Amino acid sequence: MTVRRNRKVKILATLGPASSEQEQIKGLFLAGADVFRINMSHSSHDMLRDYVKKIRAVEKEVGRPIGILADLQGPKLRLGRFADTKVKLINGARFTLDSSDEPGTISRVQLPHPEIFGSVKEGDILLLDDGKVRLRTISVAADAIHTEVVTGGDISDRKGISFPDSTLSFSALTPKDRSDLDAAVEAEVDWLALSFVQRPEDVAEVRKLSRGRTGILSKIEKPQAVECLKEIIELSDAIMVARGDLGVEMPLEKVPGAQKQITRAARQAGKPVVVATQMLESMITSPMPTRAEVSDVATAVFEGADAVMLSAESAAGDFPQEAVAMMDRVAQEVECDPYYGNIMYAQRAAPEATAADAISAATRQIAETLNLANIVCYTSSGTTGLRAARERPQTPIITMSPIIATARRLSLVWGLHCIVSEDAGTLDQMVDRACSKSYQEGFAKPGQRVIITAGVPLGTPGATNMLRIAFVGSDGLGGI
């Protein structure tokens, strides 16, 4: 089975009750999903292993590398319980969060996270129940936060609490996350998504624990992470614009600008960037999205995001395959738009002052100037493929790697058609194999030319230093 996408942006689909069987996963892949997300907030280790087994079975059946992302839950900060289950907070009233485990009242409730008290300062805003209730800090004691109700409403047992103005002193990894991380690495997932990132040290901690066995994707969902975005990107392998939590912790009108800022910063650094949350939300219960949702997906594609993500739409919705297919059609339409190429050209990042980046930039320019059939990147570590994608060329890109883990990880990256292939032993073998795969995969016809980029000596990780133009012969092999 030869599967070739007719778009360059990738689709990340979340698995769940509506998509937990192997045939359902295969259906999502054929509809357009390139990477599957396993949400560890709702998945046990047995479920994780079962998902991975089924995805790998689909991968073998369709003959294409498929990426798997395990999304760590992160800290879940919640209030204690109330004596009467819930209370109604009134604007201007005083309300205290303290360490007492006594049932809550109209004037106080337990905050069962003692490490937080030292992180909050006077004037900080606190958000309850996804921002439905807002509190302003008046004063802070060793075991209590005294606040004034800015926006009142009903609050019930165990509702979530957010601290958009406070950098909290604890790790982004809970004991559950550490256990989930070990299970995910053991199951050989391709990406780990890190929630609750506040500072670069959070990413460094996960990188130390994973020891290079999986890619690290940092979810930008807190204002503190936006403030040190450059440093977080440097330590991460990929970035996610987690717009749902961003929309809780910062004013909603600021989220579109933050999305553009994060997307462009990641693209500048050559790191994959995923735009996520509520992209086709109405398709959880409807076979058709709203026009606003279609526009939302299109905006992410026009921005040059590497991937767009479905959450509940594919995990628990009534129309999971239809949601993936709709996202696929929207992306294809955008990429055919006459303005799309101009926008990609205008936003293209300047190459870094390295031989590898210069080679990648030259490859893109030669391919477009000579109207070549496709670019072929030989890559062991994935770096050559990432550099090629960073250029956002109009010309299709094939990445060939002898390492299946590399091909799976690159399935998240814009424009890359990933193939697992034995490493070439000589330059002639490299040319023949590149031309043959370009022909077999439907990118090039006999008589057309392709451009090949690789590191010499062959198989040297990260040493992109060569490009070569070759004709596809009548037998599908290459010639100079």
d(CA 7, CA 420): 20
- Active-site residue identified among 277, 363, 383, 384: 277
Answer positive or negative: Cα dihedral of 367, 271, 69, 262: negative
Is the CB of residue 277 less than 8 Å from the CB of residue 242?
A: yes
d(CA 36, CA 29): 9
d(CA 405, CA 420): 9
If residue 97 lies in a helix (H) or strand (E), which one and from where to where?
strand 94-98
Contacts of 338 (CB under 8 A, 6+ apart): none
Residue 37 annotated as catalytic: yes
- Active-site residue identified among 8, 64, 219, 449: 219
d(CA 223, CA 382): 31
d(CA 367, CA 374): 7
Contacts of 270 (CB under 8 A, 6+ apart): 349, 386, 387, 389, 390
- Active-site residue identified among 7, 8, 10, 37: 37
- Active-site residue identified among 49, 76, 78, 348: 78
Exposed e or buried b per residue across 46-69, where buried means at least 16 C-beta atoms within 10 angstroms of its C-beta: ebbebbbebbeebbeeeebbbbbb
Residue 277 annotated as catalytic: yes
Helical segments of 250-337, H only:
255-269, 291-302, 312-315, 320-336
What are the catalytic residues? 37, 78, 219, 277
